[in-house]
Chains A and B, each alone.
Chain A
């Protein structure tokens, strides 16, 4: 099958998943109504008489659409981040989490939750902003420390230092959780991720971050392709390996950090999506980066759909669903590729 045809099919699939994410729930809304409400809100197009004045409009516009779009953005961002990390670190199990983004962000979130600390002009965004800052600081500290230990910034050094930093920050987090038992449930819930009660403000803030981050990473797709063959080869082919590595690691961590800052830690999508994409489209990053957005985004929307409908009216944390589906699925994708099935 031609790659362009596969890309078109994937985009159609993603659109269908988003429509499904918006349409399904405690109240089911047909796709035609979803499209009508979107056109009405954006272009002031007239609404069909059968939904005018109903709660379906609020459900679609105020609840489901921002939630689904946020899930798509978060899934896309962490999937792209995962594909970049795997290429730069030449390790199919690498992700931003390897460098401590999630541990750092969780620590930041824990400090905000336990202390009730609030940045005045940020208000409710104090938690995500603090999470992002802590996540990024952890990654920068890990990479900087790795650079001090090994001026060539070898991949193995980065992975090892990242793991050490991640474990250390996790240890601090465990101490905080043990000391603040009143907030244990809230802390645990944040670490499992959720799109519950998310509105347009999160989408509006995250959208430009994700768009710019992905566009810049896409511009480095050739460098990523070359670097998968080894850093010495990349260097002799004219790639400024040290600089490019810093840029890619930072951007990748920023993408994951921004995404999880809003919704909490969500694992596995950053591992699964790049593998699925490479299996379907090959390893060329020119395709892997944009297709990771579509696959990661769609997978996240489906997981969120399951999380909010499977025990309706209650909700499961979406991180639990991604892990439940993701772990066996990842094992299948990874080992079937190795066996050439």
Chain B
């Protein structure tokens, strides 16, 4: 579905990522991990077309350089991080904007009944349907993140790119988001590519992992292969496994380990 071959990209003529090659199949989830400054966000920006790249990025066999902006946006949606809200909209209005490309071509880009239905469906999926008339300026960071997720889903993409999507979420909403994305890719046959700092969440979401170090691929393979190797310790320059196990032991000592979250989105 998505293939990268020798992709390099960066800013002001200086490459931040070098010769990245990977392949993401339909229904597969990929997490990009690595220390700060390794090029994770740059890779997401290159795939989404925000910054130019050298090498080849193909979606469904077509080079994105040969696709129009709107063709790319119909295939790939980027769930953005929370940023300043300059002008407030209702939750419904914000999510409806995700239907932009589907409304284009109509007089004054009026939404159709299908656009409205699909928007409601996305709002229900993230549990915000009952408060859809609330202004987004009044929402918590977690609620706003879910609004942006709903807007991303409203785009009807095949691939969702996430850049540290759990930044503003508490633990409950973090796990709900990851569970939701796993279900979305599993049942819809779509893919999620996410930049993650939290290794636990990355392990939970991903089928495959890409480990970046200083702009280069340090490892690329199945999640199980990556976490069972010693490579993470080298890349993060610390004993990652020991830290995780210690943390778990601490919880276990209080008898507080719950293997699954009790509630899910929708």
Interface positions of A (Cβ within 8 A of B): 87, 90-92, 218-219, 221-223, 225-226, 228-230, 232-233, 235-240, 278, 282-284, 286
Contact = CB atoms under 8 A, between A and B. Distances in A.
A235 B69 CA distance: 8
B83 A230 contact: yes
B93 A225 contact: yes
Given A219-B108, A222-B109, A233 B88 contact: no
A91 B86 CA distance: 8
Nearest to A243: B69
Contacts of B70: 238
Contacts of B220: none
Interface stretch (B97-105, B119-127, B208-216, B225-233): B97-105
Contacts of B78: 232-233, 236
A237 B87 contact: no
Interface string B46-82: 0011100000000000000000011011101110100
Contact of A237 (B89, B93, B101): B101
A238 B49 contact: no
Contact of B50 (A229, A232, A238, A278): A232
Interface residue range, chain B: 20 to 34
B145 interface: no
A237 B98 contact: yes
A282 B94 CA distance: 12
B155 interface: yes
A288 B98 CA distance: 20
Contacts of B74: 238
A87 B101 CA distance: 20
B100 A238 contact: yes
A236 B89 contact: no
A91 B87 CA distance: 10
A240 to B, nearest CB: 6
A222 to B, nearest CB: 5
Contact of A229 (B76, B83, B103): B83
A238 B89 contact: no
B109 A284 contact: no
Nearest to B48: A236
A245 to B, nearest CB: 14
5 closest Cβ contacts across the A-B interface?
Answer: A238-B73, A283-B87, A236-B78, A238-B70, A238-B101
9 contacts: A90-B86, A222-B109, A229-B94, A236-B48, A236-B73, A237-B155, A238-B101, A278-B87, A282-B90
B77 A236 contact: yes
A286 B108 CA distance: 8
A283 B100 contact: no
Contacts of A278: 87
Given A236-B80, A237-B98, A284-B93, 10 more contacts: A91-B86, A228-B86, A229-B80, A233-B78, A236-B49, A238-B70, A238-B73, A239-B100, A240-B69, A286-B108
A228 B89 CA distance: 10
A184 B69 CA distance: 53
Contacts of A229: 80, 83, 85, 94, 97
B88 A282 contact: yes
B136 to A, nearest CB: 10
A92 B86 CA distance: 8
